[in-house]
Amino acid sequence: MGAGPADKGLDTFKTLVYDPLIDVVVKKIIASASFLSFGPIAFIITAVVGLVADKIYAALKEIINFQYVLLLNEQHHAAFVEANQSLRKIAKEKGIDSEEYRNARSKRRSALAIFARYSGT
């Protein structure tokens, strides 16, 4: 999945929370056994844990972005349904030649455009 609207906030979270947390985990792993701190072993452990953590983060990021789009889609669908119901009510009460009907039709058109933009993936 491509970049989503929540990417900027998630990248800030990664920089401020996730990466330092992974650094602490790597240090604890290396400190748990003294032989892990000799030679290139510490470097290899850091690289492997970092690679796995980045893969996990990328998967979480996709899930969060997907859920964000679904939430937006639900909100836009509800707004479209409400605009459509309002239009039908005004058509019955005031007629299709009234100014209120033209305004409601314009609002429904805008709501549909937004809904179609977020639901068309």
pLDDT, tens digit, 9 for 90 and up, residues 65-88: 777 777 777 888 888 889 989 989
Residue 24 lies in a domain: yes
Q: What's the total number of domains in the chain?
A: 1
Residue 2 lies in a domain: no
pLDDT at 119 over 60: no
**Domain range for residue 65?**
7-119
Residue 28 lies in a domain: yes
DSSP-based three-state secondary structure for 105: helix
pTM above 0.75, yes or no: no
